[in-house]
Amino acid sequence: MSDPLAPLLELDGVAEAAKKAQDAVFAVHRLPANLRGGSATAAEASVRAARASAALDGADPEIPADAAVKDPVLAGSLRVAEAGESLLPTWRRAPRQALARMHVLAAADLVDDRNSLGRPGPAAGARLDLLTQLVTGATSAPGPVLTAIVHGELLTLKPFGTADGVLARAAARLTMTATGVDPKGLTVPEVAYFRRAERYRDTAGAFATGTPDGVREWLLFCCEAMETGAREARSIADAAG
C-alpha cells in the first residue's frame, strides 16, 4: 500500500523545512533545564499554548489573578491542555475517541445541547476515518508533516461545529508528541500562529483548496511555526534556569 503523504515530500522545500523544524525542536530538548526532566518547562509551554490557541479564536488569553477563568473558549482550551498527557495513549490508538473527548472538554461551556458534545457531524465521517488511518500508522512521513496535515485537515473539516480551532491545534500538539517531534511537549508553535494570525488563516485557507501550492504553503508555514515555537521554548528554559 502506497504512503498517502509521500507525494508531499516532493513539494519544493517541504522535506528541508520539516528537517529544520525537527532539528530546532530536538535542540530544545538538550537544554540543561530540559535535560533535568522538563516537567516544569513543559507545563509552562502547555499553558502558553492553550492561551495562544484560545486567543486565535477570539478569547481573552489573560488568566485572572484568582485563576477563575470566565472566558468559555479559554477555559475549554486550558481543560484540553491539562488532559493532554492522559489523552496521548488514546490519540495513538483511537484518534477519533480522543477527538471526541477533547471536544467535550473544549466546548463544554459553548453549547446548549450537551448531547452534541463529542459528536462530529455526519459529513465529517469519511475524512475523519482517513485522518485516523494516518495517525495510527498509514504514513511514514516526518512528524512535522503529519502534524501539519492533522492540523490543517481539522481546521478545514470543522468536524464538531464548535471549538474546532482549539481542537485542531490541540490535536496537532498531540501529534508532535506522539510522533517524537516534541516528545516532552516543550515547544509552543501556537504562539507563532497567534502572532501571525492573518498569515495563519490565509495559509489554512490555501490548504483547504487541496491544490499542491496551497498544501505546500501550509506545510512550510507550519514548519516555520515549529521553529518559532522552539525559540519560545528556549525562553521558557532560560527562565527556569
pTM to 2 decimal places? 0.96
> What is the number of structural domains in the chain?
1
- Is 152 within a domain? yes
pLDDT by residue for the chain (241 residues), tens only, comes to: 689 999 999 999 999 999 999 999 999 999 999 998 779 999 999 999 999 999 999 999 999 888 889 999 999 999 999 999 999 999 999 999 999 999 999 999 998 878 889 999 988 989 999 999 999 998 999 999 999 999 999 999 999 999 999 999 999 999 999 999 999 999 999 999 999 999 999 999 999 999 999 999 999 999 999 999 999 999 999 998 7
First to last CA, the chain: 48
Cα dist from 53 to 3, 41, 230, 233, whole Å: 31, 18, 16, 16
- Cell digits of residue 51: 492561551
Based on the number of CB atoms within 10 Å of its own CB, is 118 exposed (0-12), middle (13-18) or buried (19 or more)? Answer: middle
Q: What is the Cα–Cα distance from 122 to 136, expressed in whole angstroms?
A: 22
Structural domain span for residue 115: 6-240
Dihedral sign computed on CA atoms, order 79, 85, 90, 91: positive
- Cell digits of residue 88: 496521548
CATH, residue 175: 1.10.3290
- Is 1 within a domain? no
- Angle, in degrees to the nearest 10, between helices 164-178 and 143-157: 160
